[in-house]
Amino acid sequence: MKPANIMRVDLRSDTVTQPTPAMRAAMLAAPLGDDVFAGDPSVNALQEKIAALLGFEAALFMPTGTQSNLCAILAHCQRGDEYIVGQFAHCYRWEGGGAAVLGSVQPQPLNHQSDGSLLLADIEAAIKPDDAHFARTRLLALENTLGGKLLPFDYVQQATELARAKGLSRHLDGARIFNAAVAQAATGGANGGDVFLEARRIAQCFDSVSVCFSKGLGAPVGSVLCGSREFLARAHRIRKMAGGGMRQSGLLAAAASYALDHHVLRLADDHALAQRLADGLRDLPGLVVETPQSNIVFVDLVDEARARADELIPFLAARGILVTGLYRLRFVTHLDLDAAGIAYTLAVMREFFRA
């Protein structure tokens, strides 16, 4: 039987956070209008704020990151074009094949290196010559962070420069760009550790960037797509077709604005908790723990731990701890977790592996 006062520790994703009381207050106080008439002041303010922050002409608020990536790919590509993308990129693997289904845009997936990058030589080799046999290669899409990994900044520069030199557009799925910026700033960066300048430095390597507010930033809903006005005019038409024209969406934009003002720098706390969790798990038998670079810890179960894998998730769940995976577990830290939750998780994991 479950004790009534069981601690609940939800490590499935950084999407599970509840809006804080201050974020809810900001939502309720937001001035609203009809965004389909471009008349929602809170949406407009968010779009201007994020565009200025990341150094783009404009931005467009979207209900989801999936729709934001879809609008980006379809605004960069025509039917019969293709985009180069990683095998594990969200906008290839986890979005229902939307670019192909809805846009007749073909993905050209490439294998990742262990640091999450795509080899420059592989990118170059995947760019098709102008020949009727081939789809037209139009776009390189990268993701940062990818599976919690920070792409090395030198690599981001080289890959996007290669794409530019070959006439491709460059899109960043920056669902977690602020996690990337926090991680990059912590390693020194070029800007004395300024997180917002690091975010901008990453973003400026690309023609378009999609940012999620519903992940580590802790908003309930929403993403933005940033780019030039001309690009976003095309994306806006596609957003309408995809059913993403929202009305008094300033309620949601206000949460996103609040998150930009208050929840970016605190991502460092999530990264520290992920590190603490990884350090604690490393002592347990049969666990191979990847050193986290941001807020996601991957743990592979081997040997005796692997043999008991299907008992582990229910054991944790019965004690209020939610995690995804089976032989490869994923733990994600976020705004609604604290050191006590991590300590409790480690204690329960130790209990399982002692048994």
Ligand X SMILES: *Cc1c(COP(=O)(O)O)cnc(C)c1O
Residue 12 interacts with ligand X (CB under 6 A): yes or no: no
By beta-carbon proximity to ligand X, the closer residue of 90 and 271 is: 90
- Residue 116 DSSP symbol: S
By beta-carbon proximity to ligand X, the closer residue of 141 and 342 is: 141
Cβ at position 292, least distance to ligand X in Å: 15
Cβ-proximal residues to 138 (8 Å cutoff; 6+ apart), any chain:
76, 77, 78, 81, 82, 83, 168, 169
By beta-carbon proximity to ligand X, the closer residue of 212 and 252 is: 212
- 331 closest CA partner among 355, 304, 296, 301: 296
The rounded distance, in Å, linking the Cα atoms of 98 and 83 is 13
Among 150, 151, 175, 203, binds ligand X (CB under 6 A): 175
* Reduced DSSP (H G I as helix, E B as strand, rest coil) percent helix, strand, coil of the chain, to 5: 45, 15, 40
Report DSSP letters for 266-330, one per residue.
Answer: THHHHHHHHHHHHHHHTTSTTEEEPPPSSSEEEEEE-HHHHHTHHHHHHHHHHTTEE-EESSEEE
The count of C-alpha atoms lying within 13 angstroms of the C-alpha of 76, restricted to the half-sphere facing its C-beta, is 31
Torsion of CA 200, 190, 111, 178, to 10 degrees: -40
Binding mask 197-236 for ligand X (x = CB under 6 A): ---------------x-xx-------x-------------
By beta-carbon proximity to ligand X, the closer residue of 40 and 143 is: 143
Residue 270 interacts with ligand X (CB under 6 A): yes or no: no
Q: What is the CA radius of gyration of the chain?
A: 21
Per CB under 6 A, the segment of 61-69, 115-123, 301-309, 334-342 that binds ligand X is 61-69
Among 44, 64, 104, 157, binds ligand X (CB under 6 A): 64
Taken as a whole, the chain contains a residue count of 355
By beta-carbon proximity to ligand X, the closer residue of 184 and 223 is: 223
Name the closest residue to ligand X (Cβ).
65
By beta-carbon proximity to ligand X, the closer residue of 296 and 305 is: 296
Q: Count the residues of the shown chain that bind ligand X, applying the rule CB under 6 A.
A: 12
SS3 120: helix
Report DSSP letters for 211-231, one per residue.
Answer: EESSSTT--SS-EEEEE-HHH
Among 10, 35, 82, 173, binds ligand X (CB under 6 A): 173
Cβ at position 14, least distance to ligand X in Å: 9
Per CB under 6 A, the segment of 27-35, 64-72, 110-118, 183-191 that binds ligand X is 64-72
By beta-carbon proximity to ligand X, the closer residue of 51 and 73 is: 73
Among 76, 90, 149, 239, binds ligand X (CB under 6 A): 90
14-43 residues in contact with ligand X (CB under 6 A) are none
The count of C-alpha atoms lying within 13 angstroms of the C-alpha of 255, restricted to the half-sphere facing its C-beta, is 26
* Residues engaged in binding ligand X (CB under 6 A): 64-66, 69, 90, 143, 173, 175, 212, 214-215, 223
